[in-house]
Amino acid sequence: MTVLLANKKIIKDWIDYNGHMNLSYYILVFDMGAEVILSKFEMGEHAAKTTKKSTMVVETHTKYIREVKENDDVIISLSHLDHDKKRLHYKLEMHEKSTNNLSATTEVLALYMDLSDRKVSEFEEEKIKLMDDFINLNKSNFVNDNLVITGKLKK
């Protein structure tokens, strides 16, 4: 089981000449889901604009498992989340809503950034608490096997 983040309908503009969603739009849809969780931790778009603190992705690993086509409804969910003082590691899943078939996954390593000087920064204590509380509440929903980005957190 995972933590639901977003539901999206696949639109015509995202479909390529092969008749399925172009790979770049998988990342866009995953990013829409990531924004939900980043906003919950006060480091999404609003925080970037108001506090000049946000995250920047430095590494990803994406698997395309089943085709997604125009008008498909997909669910984006969080299947893994961890962090250290400066890094956030998470994995998202995309399921086709009507069948619940896994369509794609993306695993992400992001750095917490001070946008004022474009340098890596440590998470503030309140953000660490938000993340830790969320992890503790949802850890039974997370799956830690099959992670590709490992050993990058400094705990």
Give how many domains the chain has, as a whole number: 1
What letter would DSSP give residue 37? Answer: H
- pLDDT at residue 69 in the model: 97
* Domain region containing 65: 3-140
CA distance 127 to 76: 23
pLDDT of 145: 84
Residue 100 region by backbone torsions, left for phi larger than 0, else alpha for psi between -120 and 50, else beta: left
Per-residue confidence (pLDDT) for residue 40, from 0 to 100: 96
CA gyration radius, the chain: 16
The reported pLDDT for the residue numbered 32 is: 97
For residue 155, the model assigns a pLDDT of 83
Q: Do the beta carbons of residue 62 and residue 92 sit within 8 Å?
A: no
Q: The domain that contains 135 carries what CATH number?
A: 3.10.129.10
Backbone dihedral region of 146: left (phi > 0), alpha (psi from -120 to 50 degrees) or beta?
left
Q: Rounded to whole angstroms, how far apart are CA atoms 140 and 126? A: 23
pLDDT of residue 57: 98
Whether 153 is covered by a domain: the verdict is: no
User: Does a structural domain hold residue 147?
Assistant: no
Average pLDDT by stretches of 10, the chain with 155 residues: 93 98 97 97 96 97 97 98 98 96 98 97 98 96 91 91
